[in-house]
Amino acid sequence: MMKRIVISLLMCLLMSGLVYAKEDAKMKDTFSVIHARKSVRNFTGAPVNKADLDKIIKAGMTAPTAANMQPWSFIIITERKILDDLAAGLPNAKMLTKAGAAIIVCTEPDKANGKSKDLAIIDAALAGGNILLAIEALDLGGVWTAAYPYPDRMKHVKTVLKIPEEVIPLNVIAIGVPAGQDKPKDKYKKEKIHWEKW
């Protein structure tokens, strides 16, 4: 009887140890993705598969939004010609010619209510941040290239993609298989942190 109790206790200890180990591994994994993320601008030209793009968009849609309005839409591009057409009118997005895909995060302030309208750009930017992390998690490379707030760039993206007038394209996120070994920048600066007061 005693032996059975001791064995059960040992099993419980072992199981709880495994649970903690698993949680710890999950936590480390999240932080390793956050710390490994970097802008990647050199791609092999290989396509990005649709299952990965779906995972990336889902990650974008988990982002928080003011009053949970979710005033956003996402355009996924995989066609070579459209990627090239976008690149042609975006001065800082020439890497699109070698990207396998792109995601345009759009914000739709009209889909938010009164006060939340002013926060729609922030809502979409947070989705964009999640998208960049998901790209890193899948061992792909990505870079946010700006459309908003440049009128000429937004106009170009809207024309190429037939985006309605009231919708604002924030960016064109180039996605691809990295051609190099880009490293994350170390941006941790203690002097930027203020504890309790400025």
Ligand X SMILES: Cc1cc2nc3c(=O)[nH]c(=O)nc-3n(C[C@H](O)[C@H](O)[C@H](O)COP(=O)(O)O)c2cc1C
End-to-end CA distance of the chain: 63
Name the residue nearer to ligand X (CB basis): 49 or 161.
161
We find the least distance from the C-beta atom of residue 184 to ligand X, in angstroms, to be 6
Nearer to ligand X, 4 or 185 (CB): 185
Smallest separation (angstroms) from ligand X to the CB of 4: 56
Closer to ligand X at the Cβ: 41 or 111?
A: 41
- Minimum distance from CB of 139 to ligand X (Å)? 16
DSSP letters, 97-156, are GT-SEEEEEEE-GGGS-TGGGGGHHHHHHHHHHHHHHHHHHTT-EEEEEE-TT-HHHHHH
Secondary structure element (H or E) that encloses residue 76, with its range: strand 72-77
The Cα 146–Cα 93 span in angstroms is 8
Q: Which is nearer to ligand X, 31 or 198 (CB)?
A: 31
Task: Give dist(CA 42, CA 36) in Å, integer.
Answer: 16
- Minimum CB separation of residue 86 from ligand X in Å reads 12
Which stretches of the chain bind ligand X, using CB under 6 A? 38-39, 41, 92-93, 143-146, 185
